[in-house]
Chain A
Amino acid sequence: MKSIKEVLLLFLILGAVFSACTSEDSMYFDQNEKVVFLGNAFFENAIDNGEIETALAIRFPKKNLTFRNIGWSGDNVYAHARTRARGGGRFGDPEKGFEILTQQISDLKPDKIFLAYGFNESFDQEAGVDTYKDGLKRLLQMLGQYSPDLILISTTPIEKDFGIPEEHVETRNRELKKYAEATREVGLEGNYHFVDLYTFFSKEIQYTTNGIHLSVEAYRKAAGVIAQSLGLPAPTVAIDSEEADQIRNTIIKKNTLFFHRWRPRNDAFVYGERKDEQRIAQEEPAQIEPFIAKQEEAISLLLEEL
């Protein structure tokens, strides 16, 4: 049994830690923390460039952080795109996506979750803002049960000169701004961190690959905005250094392996209706685990050397 004094001391320390963690102050990363990137194609596309993850990793090289990117193109705060044929179904019920996500988050038990939503919801325009906010709150509440730190990332504006009619770009950006604002409001209300990429990119040019999705260079800039907004320390090496490149390449390798681990091709045979047809299809995704671990080790080693 610990003495009352010890327990009190523990409370005092914990209290100090908690107060340092409010959204007003710089964000704190503890040893061995697990970070999840969740959202639509904003994060899914980041799997292949690792920019945000690298930017965070080289700021905390000795913390042994691990990152899991579970972004999914076309997803919304209701996790509709995450619906998969489960328990033998052919196509899941969209409402099941949220359950699947909840299960995944409770398995991963992340310490921090970065969320990027709002792009797909913004097509519901003004009329959908309240529904979006409600959906986002429900999502945050669920995530909060497993993860103490939630960081909201705003939408980014659509870019001109990609063949998309100009008037459409303008209408869209009015909507996207509304949804960035809605995200900010939810963040403020729930005392979550909020990173405004909308304002930043509305002053930029040539930051997308197709008018809607960020280029690799833009991801690097976005990472800078995120770091600054969260008051993170300066990186131990320059983001464009050879060392950072090496780390980034290893991160991308790890990300790709993890993608094949949790979203394997032939999902219908691994989890869905055709599940009973293939033994090997079900066994193989788990066999990727040691290869992911190997890349994680390589990343840690590279970071330790900094």
Chain B
Amino acid sequence: MINSKGRLQWVICICLLSQYVQGQNALQDIPEPDLKKELASFTVLDGFEVSLYAATPMIEKPTQINFDSDGRLWVCGSHIYPQLNVNEEPSDQIVILEDSDGDGVADKSSVFYDKLIIPGGVLPDNQGGAYVANGDKLIHLSDTDSDGEADKVKVVLTGFGTEDTHHTLHRLGWGPGGKMYLLQGYYIASHVETAYGPRHLNGGGLWTYDIDTRRLEIFTKGYINPWGHAIDYWGQSFESDGAGTGFGHSYPNAVYVGSPGELESLPSLTPDRPKASGIEIISGKHFPPSWTGNIITNDFRAHITDRYSLKKEGSSYEASLEPTFLKSSHTSFRPIDVKMGPDGALYVVDWYSPIIQHGEVDFRDERRDHQHGRIWRITAKGRPLLEKPNYKDSSIPELLDLLKADENWVRLMAKQTLKSRDADQVMAAIQDWVGNLDAHEPDFDHHRLEALWTVQTINKIDVDLLKTVLQSKTAGARSAAARVLYYWNENVPNALELLEGAVQDPDPGVRREAVTALSQFSSDKAFDIALSAYNDHMDRAYAFALRQTCRILSKYWLPSILNGNLTPTADDSALIFALKNTEDPRATQPLIEIFRKSENPDLDILTVIGQLGDSEQLNFLSNLSSSSASPYSSEAAKALLIGARNRGAFPTANKTEVLQNLFASRHDEDLATACALVGYWDSKEFIDVLKEYLSASNATYDIKSSAAGSLAMFQTEDIRDFLIQVIDEDPSINTTKLAVNALVQVDLEKGIESIANTLSREIDQSSIEYLIRRIVRKEGAFRALTKELEGKKIPSETARHASRYVLISGREGAEELIAALSIAGGIETNAASSHNKMTTQELMAKLKDGNAEKGKEIYQMPQLACATCHKINGVGLSDIGPDLGSIGASAPVDYIVESLLEPSNKIKEGYKSSSITTENGDFYQGSVIFEDTDNITIKTAAGTEISLQKSKIKSQETSKVSMMPAGLTNALTETELIDLLKYLTELGKSQ
């Protein structure tokens, strides 16, 4: 053990000498790891104070902390992060800290175990041992000879993915019902074998593990960097995300952003907030009463610990940001975990590093700090600290009385301690304790709920107690009881009757839990009850819960519906909701039946048929659309277009009749649909009609656009000649540009020639953009246009605008094309800017002279187009690029410089783009936002979403090129560039 107080400063001096002197030459602003300076850098809200609880060498770089029932603090740490060295022995540690004299400063530190590789979480078992998240394994460490060191290692679970060490298994915690909660992040693919079947999870997610029955289940899926998890007074979960969504409300079956293969996800409660790491919920008497239930989370990029208040909203919550709680001006202060301690104070874990990026900065970058870590303690001034109960020596009834405590952790530790007592005695004592509760006590409902959670914690079942809690006056207790039913499910006799009542609860939160609990039953009846909870004003969380239950149970009810064995009690609109949400092609036929018999049918059904139906079912649409007498002719045609465009699925009957009917209707919308269908259906007999509409002076733009698109699909000489003729006649710029685009598809050479000709005329900016954007997607088009422009003259304004769109494309050959445009436009090419030759180091050296305010103006210059793709703290036009809100606080200066000058060298996690070339030579670049077996949807740099059929894709690869074009800053002067850099490097530092 180390008695640190004397040695601490001495050790820090050594570190400073040995490590930081070398690091200085690369980065100017690495601060000294001086504890006093860091402490002085804090600004904490009035009424609170910060002090140091522990620091290196008492701890390693901390990744998670958890207190045990003896009040000792277990710290999980890693100096190995981000990557084990070649042939390096695992040596990361679990350390136990104690504050034996109760002065708020740790005075004892002992290494419990030191053979780990980048552990992400530690959870004491409150019996002297602990669970540890160690990469691919969840292990249990115990100290059988009580010498304070682990001597027995048991592998509990194995098969967690390790694809990205800042996402591996982490953040362990106990839930109120005794389950363990574990998190994993994006890029992780886990395959864990359990007695109940293999559990596979790709991407982020929250797991629950029952240590008694060894059951591992997925609780929620998604979030890019799910980092923290906290559970409130009524047992509701909140997860924080370190990738720009702040935190959200979690419940079983929920899915959040970034879960592979999921079509829908729920938003967080703070969608535009920056990265949030650890999360805690305030409880207990030490903090001001108004703070109880508030969420505390860290913005580790901006060196801030934030507070949010929560308000119930429908079946979920609404969060409001409160004044900043704690903030530091110290570059290395990285608050990453936060926990309430046994004395009622709040403990903030400081990873301490100037560099926080996992992949963007080299694993072996010497500026990464591998040594320091701190735990800070925040107390409320003038408010007494709390005495820790002596759980170990308390009797069962005394422990049960602790369930009335205000402090969430006291009640949790009491239940954890009860778990180690004789279960039958505890069950008997619970009966007495509940029997003696005073129903008039204000927290009566919560006390009874705690008794129910205790039963759950000791792995017993008490149906009577469950029933009484389900009847509580307080909605929070009823919803928690419904959650218990989620876990006990078919082990409770007549459980479905109980849930039948709960789905009609006046509180939407209870109904959401009841609907979720029904997903754990295996019968049509469970589905029928869930469906009765459908209504037409469901909020998002509630509708999602019902969607998930319908999907999970569809293996039971869908066959029953199909073979006529189930007629739901709920009305058709509920059944339509269920059928639509299965996304199962088998659901199409029942939807058709419902449509047929409805007097006022739900037209969304037609869309679903278009999305899922087979050719026979598409015939239902073509039948509806082939008669002018049908009132649904237009909608059915649009659904047919969805089938054709998204899946290449066609009806077998009535195609000609559909087109005839639509063309005869003379409605603009129908005409546009018909023109588009001609191409997809390959209905050659209508080519002349398409030609007419493209050249007709009175047709709308949409009609012409569809006609041109379809014409381009018939790659014939006749059509090529027709298009050339249209372009020559030039009826209007809109028609011409559509014809040019079609010609590019049919005959690239001729198409490019006509683009060059069109550019030489006086045309408006949007037409220039249209023409350039069309060829951006064509392989070889830039080269061809460059050649075509030789010796041509175009207006200088056209040259300037066109150059801009070429530049933004970031495509190969852009530079040459811009040069050709400039010559043709008679404008001077940008002389190589003086800063082009400057190194990153030189730019960094000049940064001190930069003016951030002027830099902000430069950032907003339209020709730089920064704001076209980036937001700053949620404000901006689109989220194609990362939010730059705290880039200055999170990234080293050299990273920012390089990102700006050579975007492709530093591509932020989650912003990699895919380059896709289709069979007909179209080229797309964008980030993949959805992918299933048949389709892929990408979001391009222009912000548009494009859905492509996989069968039409020739090649797809992750682009090594950033979606951010290189050379954006070429037009800036050196001073302007330095001002812009100054602005970016200041972002997030002073809010």
Residues of A within 8 A of B (CB): 40-41, 44-45, 48, 72-76, 80-81, 83-85, 87-91, 119-120, 123, 158, 162-165, 168-169, 172, 209-213, 257, 260, 263, 265-269, 272-281, 284, 287-288, 291
Contacts and interface: CB of A to CB of B under 8 A. Distances in A.
Contacts of A76: 198
Nearest to A158: B195
B969 interface: no
A10 to B, nearest CB: 44
Contact of B192 (A74, A162, A165, A280): A74
A74 B202 contact: no
Nearest to B914: A88
Given A266-B163, A266-B164, A73 B193 contact: yes
Given A41-B159, A44-B159, A268-B163, 20 more contacts: A74-B192, A80-B200, A84-B163, A90-B928, A91-B202, A120-B193, A123-B198, A163-B211, A265-B83, A265-B84, A265-B118, A265-B162, A266-B359, A267-B161, A268-B164, A268-B187, A273-B958, A277-B360, A278-B362, A284-B86
A214 to B, nearest CB: 11
B678 to A, nearest CB: 35
A165 B197 CA distance: 14
Contacts of B84: 260, 265
Given A74-B192, A90-B187, A276-B907, A287 B86 contact: yes
B260 A90 contact: yes
B213 A263 contact: no
A203 to B, nearest CB: 20
B44 to A, nearest CB: 36
Interface string B915-957: 0000000000000100000000000000000000000000001
Contacts of B159: 41, 44, 72-74, 81
Given A73-B191, A273-B958, A265 B198 contact: no
B954 to A, nearest CB: 15
A48 B195 CA distance: 21
B195 A277 contact: no
A254 to B, nearest CB: 12
Interface string B107-127: 000000000011000000000
A74 B83 contact: no
B168 interface: yes
Contact of B189 (A45, A83, A273, A288): A83
B212 interface: yes
A277 to B, nearest CB: 4
Contacts of A80: 191, 200
Given A210-B156, A266-B164, A266-B363, A281 B83 contact: yes
B164 A212 contact: no
A119 B195 contact: no
A288 B86 contact: yes
Contact of B135 (A41, A211, A265, A284): A265
A202 to B, nearest CB: 16
Contacts of A209: 154-155
Contacts of A91: 189, 202-203, 260
Contacts of A165: 213
B652 interface: no
Contact of B195 (A168, A265, A291): A168
Contacts of B912: 88, 273-274
Contacts of A267: 161-164
Interface of B: 82-87, 117-118, 135-136, 154-156, 158-159, 161-165, 168, 187, 189-200, 202-203, 211-214, 260, 359-360, 362-364, 459, 906-907, 909, 912, 914, 928, 957-958, 960
Contact of B193 (A212, A263, A269, A278): A212
B260 A279 contact: no
A280 B359 CA distance: 11
Contacts of B928: 90
A269 B957 contact: no
Given A87-B957, A266-B162, A268-B187, A278 B202 contact: no
A48 B362 CA distance: 30
A89 B190 CA distance: 16
Given A165-B213, A267-B163, A277-B359, A44 B158 contact: yes
A265 B189 contact: no
B193 A41 contact: yes
B214 A274 contact: no
A280 B196 CA distance: 40
A40 B191 CA distance: 10
A75 B211 CA distance: 23
Nearest to A41: B193
Contacts of B960: 276
A274 B360 CA distance: 9
B163 A272 contact: yes
Nearest to A120: B198
Contacts of B190: 74
Contacts of B193: 40-41, 73-74, 119-120, 212-213
B300 to A, nearest CB: 20
A49 to B, nearest CB: 11
A212 B195 contact: yes
Contacts of A281: 83, 363
Nearest to B187: A268
Nearest to A261: B86
**Which residue among A40, A211, A266, A281 has the maximum number of chain B CB atoms within 10 Å of its CB?**
A266
Contact of B359 (A120, A164, A257, A269): A269
Nearest to B159: A73
A269 B213 CA distance: 36
25 contacts: A44-B159, A45-B158, A72-B191, A74-B198, A74-B199, A76-B198, A81-B200, A83-B189, A87-B957, A91-B189, A91-B202, A120-B193, A123-B197, A163-B211, A209-B155, A212-B193, A257-B87, A265-B135, A265-B162, A265-B168, A266-B359, A268-B163, A277-B906, A278-B363, A280-B363
A19 B459 CA distance: 58
A164 B158 contact: no
B86 A291 contact: yes
A252 to B, nearest CB: 12
B368 to A, nearest CB: 12
A85 B194 CA distance: 24
B197 A274 contact: no
Nearest to B87: A291
A76 B193 CA distance: 11
A81 B161 CA distance: 10
Contacts of A172: 195
Contact of A284 (B83, B165, B202): B83
A162 B200 CA distance: 22
B83 A266 contact: yes
Contacts of A48: 155
B155 A45 contact: yes
Contacts of A123: 197-198
Contacts of B135: 265
A41 B158 contact: yes
**Which residue among A277, A284, A287 has the maximum number of chain B CB atoms within 10 Å of its CB?**
A277
A81 B164 CA distance: 17
Contacts of A44: 158-159
A212 B906 CA distance: 45
A306 to B, nearest CB: 27
A9 B244 CA distance: 73
Contacts of A266: 82-83, 162-165, 359, 363
A209 B195 CA distance: 12
A288 B86 CA distance: 6
A211 B213 CA distance: 10
B217 to A, nearest CB: 14
A279 B360 CA distance: 11
